[in-house]
Structure 1
Amino acid sequence: MKLLLIGNCQIVAISKVIEDAYSHEIILNKIIIHKTNPSLVEQYAEELSQSDLIISQLIKNKNYPSVLSSDYIKNCHPQKCIFIPNSYFRGYNPDLIYLKYEGLRLVDTPLHDYHSNIIYKGWKKSLSEKETLNLLNDSTTWEKLYKTVASQSFEELKSREVSCDIKISEFLEKNMSHSVLFHTFNHPSNKLLAEIAAQLIQMIEIKTGVIAKNKYKALDRFSVGHEALGKIRTPVHPYVKNQLKLNIPITQNNDLIYRIGKKGEPENLSAKVLVKRFYSYYKTAIN
């Protein structure tokens, strides 16, 4: 059985579980959507045709090859496709953003490709590092900026998954207060990835009749300490903890600690160090 998975880094993590669950019973190929090449449209179309089952995130971005859009797949391969949501939720880290300058996204930041909205605006307003740090730590500032972010993001997720076969909003709603289910807004935790993978395996079994003999052992991959998408982890701000009624401890001394793991051993950064690094980064990247 040939399976084709299409999507972002979340697909990569989930694909490893699918491979383990089915062992040698499947041939699994992946198309990582942000690495696609428009000149390979015919190759992508051939992969779609030759696959017994297509598992894809919802893809509507016109910058990607048209044959990989969800509408194209639904129209041309209606009987052999499963759609899963792009797991995206800003409730845990509403201060995190992507940032463009002169039309280009600013990457290789102190937080990989992410930025802190508060730090960036503090720098842009020529606030001192100390002033910006105070704003970053201040719950009143967070309430003013982010009071409705979690509820809006959750409703957007529910709206997106209406056209998906796999749904995660109910799981998120039931579990969001018991553990942190997103390291960043688009990097779900192992616990959420395991839920998606479990639903997906069940649907593959229903659609194909092929039983995943090793599914429970495969799902154990997400129960180990290593977080598949946890290289960058933003701390839970006290405001967010209270807003989501999170039953987890506040960081010692109430300091915000950012975990960075781009290369080599992970590095833990205090908010004070992060502000300093971002100020230095913007001085070089924008000035």
Structure 2
Amino acid sequence: MKRGLVISNCQCQPIKHTMSLYSDNIIFDGFGVHLLPHDNKAHIDTLVADIDKYDVVLAVPLSDHYGEISSEKIGDHVKGDKLVRIVNMYFTGLHPDLTYIGGIAKRVDGPLGDYHSKVALLAYLRGYNADETFKLYTAKVFEALGYFDAATRSIEELKNREQNVDVQFSDILQANYREKPTFFSVNHPTSLMFDLYCQRISAFLEEKIGIKQSGFHKDALFGMNYLAGSAIFPVYPEISNHLGLKYPGSYNFKPTTFGDSPVSTYDLKEMIALEFKAFDDVGKSDLTESHAAQLIDHQYSSIDFSNYF
């Protein structure tokens, strides 16, 4: 039995399971860089020391922060056809209001974990109350914030990032994101995306290095996608309407599911109230000093929300 390795972020687990099903006589391990501590050298050195045992390594582009498995250096350890560069599936077009607050090790926690609403954050920083903030979730505000252009921008950015990978994804996304749900959040693809992209990766492996595709029935319904248990950020109705999606938008925000405990979604008013509580817990002063808050405030400094009530 051959062995493969997937070096990726939170997408690592679904990819390793799907690729193990879609490719014949090979099992994939995963190395999730999102789980590494900030001081990651020892973990990466341990991986690199044993990486020769793998028949193929699927790796997303990584910065110099990741040392020996960065895009620049991983080719020193995985030679020739054994290294297959894949893309990190990332799309802001459906969720342009989603943002993180704080660095990776110091994220501000809220009702959806790491995920926050830009509109809620901006309104809070500008002193609006929850009722006033609720009124800002409109097409006019979204247009002013540039949300309606996010899909086009995000796909173009993805195409630029794909120039140095072996297996492209942007055309798959572009052909499908209007038809069915493709992302739970900006970096959590649905099973449909894993199915289609892993079909392409497995075909590439068969053509380029002789790892044959299996006879397993390829379909998103057979996918093992653990990301569905994480927080799910909705596609707002105004975004859905503007993009001409063939599925409806909503303001139902799903928190993370833990174990076998069911969760209920938050509506928009509940979400805003919980966001404001999370912001209060951090404190307005500390929140204002965060990189995300400064970036968002600067980006939208010319927009006066009072004009949209």
TM-score range, shorter chain: 0.7 to 0.9
Residue 211 of structure 1 aligns with which residue? 212
CA contact (8 A) 2:22 2:199 kept: no
Q: 1:104 to 1:5 in 2, by over 3 A?
A: closer
Residue 83 of structure 1 aligns with which residue? 85
**Partner SS, residue 63 of structure 1:** helix
**Partner SS, residue 59 of structure 2:** strand
Residue 249 of structure 1 aligns with which residue? 248
Separation of aligned partners in 2, 1:269 and 1:176: 24
Structure 1 letter corresponding to 2:244: K
Cα offset, 1:238, TM superposition: 2.5
Q: 1:48 to 1:227 in 2, by over 3 A?
A: closer
Residue 279 of structure 2 aligns with which residue? 282
CA contact (8 A) 1:176 1:244 kept: no
Separation of aligned partners in 1, 2:105 and 2:265: 28
Q: 1:39 to 1:75 in 2, by over 3 A?
A: closer
Residue 143 of structure 2 aligns with which residue? 143
Deviations, residues 127-158 of structure 1 (Å, cap 9, x unaligned): 0101111112x110011002332221111011
2:13 is equivalent to residue 12 of structure 1: yes
CA contact (8 A) 1:261 1:267 kept: no
Cα offset, 1:272, TM superposition: 0.2
Deviations, residues 58-98 of structure 1 (Å, cap 9, x unaligned): 112x322x111122123442331111110111000100001
Deviations, residues 161-197 of structure 1 (Å, cap 9, x unaligned): 1211111111111112112211100011111111111
Separation of aligned partners in 1, 2:281 and 2:109: 12
Separation of aligned partners in 2, 1:274 and 1:162: 39
Residue 165 of structure 1 aligns with which residue? 166
Q: 1:177 to 1:21 in 2, by over 3 A?
A: closer
Residue 261 of structure 1 aligns with which residue? 256
CA contact (8 A) 1:201 1:215 kept: no
Residue 72 of structure 1 aligns with which residue? 73
**Partner SS, residue 80 of structure 2:** coil
**Partner SS, residue 28 of structure 1:** strand
**Partner SS, residue 7 of structure 2:** strand
Separation of aligned partners in 2, 1:266 and 1:197: 30
CA contact (8 A) 2:6 2:15 kept: no
Residue 289 of structure 2 aligns with which residue? none
Residue 223 of structure 1, aligned match among 221, 224, 239 = 221
Separation of aligned partners in 2, 1:172 and 1:213: 24
CA contact (8 A) 1:112 1:262 kept: no
Residue 192 of structure 1 aligns with which residue? 193
Separation of aligned partners in 2, 1:224 and 1:74: 33
The answer for unaligned runs of 5 or more in structure 1 is none
Separation of aligned partners in 1, 2:177 and 2:70: 31
Cα offset, 1:207, TM superposition: 3.2
Deviations, residues 78-122 of structure 1 (Å, cap 9, x unaligned): 331111110111000100001128x96434311111110000111
Q: 1:151 to 1:199 in 2, by over 3 A?
A: same
Separation of aligned partners in 1, 2:10 and 2:249: 29
More strand per residue: 1 or 2?
A: 1
**Partner SS, residue 268 of structure 1:** coil
Shifted more, 191-200 versus 223-232: the winner is 223-232
Q: How does 1:13-28 map to 2 (within 5 A)?
A: 13-22=14-23, 25-28=25-28
CA contact (8 A) 1:2 1:26 kept: yes
Structure 2 letter corresponding to 1:79: D
Cα offset, 1:282, TM superposition: 0.8
Q: 1:4 to 1:104 in 2, by over 3 A?
A: closer
Cα offset, 1:20, TM superposition: 2.7
Deviations, residues 210-259 of structure 1 (Å, cap 9, x unaligned): 3233432xx34x315985422322222222112211112344xxxx1112
Separation of aligned partners in 2, 1:27 and 1:168: 23
Q: 1:129 to 1:154 in 2, by over 3 A?
A: same
Q: 1:246 to 1:282 in 2, by over 3 A?
A: same
